Amino acid sequence: MQWINAKVKKINIWNNNLFSLILRANVNNFIAGQFVRLTTLKSKNNIRRAYSYVNSPINKNLEFYIIRIDSGSLSNELYNLKKNDFVMITKESFGFFTIKEIPKCENLWMFSTGTAIGPYLSILQYKKGLEFFKNIILVHAVRFIKDLNYLILINNLKKKYNNKLKVILISSREKSNISISGRIPKLISNGIIEKKANIIIDKNSHVMICGNPEMIIETQELLKKDRNMKKNLRSSPGNITTENYWK
């Protein structure tokens, strides 16, 4: 694995826990939806962690949307970086959470929790490969409304895609007029998400799920049981593609 220097161009501190890191580095080309590994120069135990690109592959500002974990090792160090500091980044990108792995179908569902909206923002900003889908439904679940830090970009994307892109915001611990409340698996099983999108999750759909592993397991099990869906494998195409952010 080749590591190279990356310079901090900007750091957007959204609140006590959430921030976006914008780096410049001579990385190799990547595919929207992929991730790199980062470490800091002072990371004592050489801790390396995976972070998904938020930016489109054609944008030279390498953007990562990150949560600072209270007891977390690397995320705290990244949170405290300043403009013009250096970090290390892998020159290569990794992962198969990309559109070219998704079989063609009518409706593409993009489910995310927290910072796991990142890969979808990269995919949607890049746009290429999405022509085949009739509808794209981006579902972003957060705990509080203050955690919805990419609303401006999301609203711009909605305009760019016209009616093709539907956005459903979920806040699990707060009620608001821009979001529905609850958890993703429950909101699928009680039909609220589909009603809101006016689209059914059926065999004409592919469901991408990213973020919290518990949510991913529950959602996947539900889709397998109730909707007769199966995991998408290269050797055996299906309708569920997932990426866990931790174990």
Ligand X SMILES: Cc1cc2nc3c(=O)[nH]c(=O)nc-3n(C[C@H](O)[C@H](O)[C@H](O)COP(=O)(O)OP(=O)(O)OC[C@H]3O[C@@H](n4cnc5c(N)ncnc54)[C@H](O)[C@@H]3O)c2cc1C
Q: Which residues bind ligand X (CB under 6 A)?
A: 35, 47, 49-52, 64-67, 69, 72-75, 95, 114-115, 118, 243, 245-246
User: Which residue number, 141 or 199, has a Cβ lying nearer to ligand X?
Assistant: 141
In whole angstroms, how close is the CB of 135 to ligand X at the nearest point?
A: 25
Residue 214's nearest CA partner among 165, 151, 172 is: 172
Residue nearest to ligand X (CB): 72
User: Which residue number, 107 or 212, has a Cβ lying nearer to ligand X?
Assistant: 212
| 3-class DSSP assignment, residue 111 | strand
195 contacts: CB under 8 Å, gap ≥ 6: none
User: Which residue number, 36 or 136, has a Cβ lying nearer to ligand X?
Assistant: 36
| 3-class DSSP assignment, residue 50 | strand
User: Which residue number, 147 or 194, has a Cβ lying nearer to ligand X?
Assistant: 147
In whole angstroms, how close is the CB of 153 to ligand X at the nearest point?
A: 15
Task: Write down the number of H helices and E strands in the chain.
Answer: 6, 12
User: Which residue number, 59 or 189, has a Cβ lying nearer to ligand X?
Assistant: 59
In whole angstroms, how close is the CB of 200 to ligand X at the nearest point?
A: 30
User: Which residue number, 47 or 217, has a Cβ lying nearer to ligand X?
Assistant: 47
In whole angstroms, how close is the CB of 143 to ligand X at the nearest point?
A: 10
183 burial level (CB within 10 Å; 0-12, 13-18, 19+):
middle
In whole angstroms, how close is the CB of 65 to ligand X at the nearest point?
A: 6
Tokens of 207: 């469901």
Rounded to the nearest angstrom, the gap between the alpha carbon of residue 222 and the centroid of all alpha carbons in its chain is 21
Which residue in the block uniquely carries the two structure tokens 């997932």?
A: 242
Q: Edge-to-edge, what's the strand order for the sheet holding 49-52?
A: 49-52, 35-40, 86-90, 3-13, 18-24, 62-67
In whole angstroms, how close is the CB of 198 to ligand X at the nearest point?
A: 30
Residue 93: CA atoms inside 13 Å, Cβ hemisphere, count? 22
